[in-house]
Amino acid sequence: NAGVTQTPKFQVLKTGQSMTLQCAQDMNHEYMSWYRQDPGMGLRLIHYSVGAGITDQGEVPNGYNVSRSTTEDFPLRLLSAAPSQTSVYFCASSTTRGRETQYFGPGTRLLVL
Amino acid sequence: AQKITQTQPGMFVQEKEAVTLDCTYDTSDPSYGLFWYKQPSSGEMIFLIYQGSYDQQNATEGRYSLNFQKARKSANLVISASQLGDSAMYFCAMREGGYSSASKIIFGSGTRLSIRP
């Protein structure tokens, strides 16, 4: 049981480049989310999903797209990277079966030059 | 309006003392959930404890307990007998709405806890 996995661990992009951050979970959780954490700050919700085929915007969705074609995968796409998107990105999955819990992946550190 | 407020940016506590980390929240939805997470310097997010709005008892998980005062809209984390390994950032978070909002969890700004030997 790998839990929540994220790739890559670290990425450097140039302004204007696009890329996809991968997130996968093997716990059959219904719910998945993407957050960003800027230095010294809390986590801000980018996009979230309540199930395959269903996504919605969080607090800071601009510049990001998501899709959820399967229960396991929830990739985050940066359309045209900007220096303001330099951050640590966390993917999380959660369930309400039994006790409600949310598990986080290890994070992807992104630097946009 | 800020939904989750953590008013203590940093705290220093002597080892083996109990510590309370404050969290207040704002919601008009009768169904919600409250979470606490620990983020050590290594960066990973560790789930600590959960309290549902309809739960009658305060949640406990080992040395962690959540002091849930619904009328005051507060959900303070209490760590008993603090240890050096408790030094970390601690985040309070809230799911607003029913279980269909389980992926829409928002976070406070965090409290940095430092344990003195």
Q: For residue A80, what are its two tokens?
A: 């045209």
Shortest distance between the Cα of A111 and any Cα of chain B, in A, equals: 16
Is residue A72 within 8 angstroms of chain B, CB to CB? no
pLDDT (0 to 100) of residue B103: 65
Query: A69: phi > 0 → left, psi -120 to 50 → alpha, else beta; which?
Result: alpha
- Number of inter-chain CB pairs under 8 A, A vs B: 69
Q: For residue B74, what are its two tokens?
A: 């507060």
Shortest distance between the Cα of B16 and any Cα of chain A, in A, equals: 27
C-beta separation of B110 from B90 below 8 A: yes
Q: Out of A87-101, B1-15, B24-38, B93-107, which region has the weakest mean confidence (pLDDT)?
A: B93-107
Question: What is the b/e burial string over A47-75, where b = at least 16 CB atoms within 10 angstroms of the residue's CB?
Answer: bbbbebeebeebebbeebebbbeebbebb
3-class DSSP assignment, residue A102 = strand
List the single residue in A with minimal CA-CA distance to B41: A40
Is residue B50 within 8 angstroms of chain A, CB to CB? yes
pLDDT tens profile A2-39: 799 999 999 999 999 999 999 999 999 999 999 999 98
Is residue A102 within 8 angstroms of chain B, CB to CB? yes
Q: Is residue B78 exposed (0-12), middle (13-18) or buried (19+ Cβ within 10 Å)?
A: middle
What's the pLDDT band for A41 if we cut at 50, 70, 90?
A: confident
Is residue A38 within 8 angstroms of chain B, CB to CB? no
Closest CA to A11 of A94, A63, A89: A89
On chain A, the residues whose CB falls within 8 A of the CB of B50 are 99-101
pLDDT tens profile B41-67: 999 999 999 999 999 899 999 999 999
Is residue B9 within 8 angstroms of chain A, CB to CB? no
Closest Cβ opposite residue B104 in set A42, A45, A101: A45
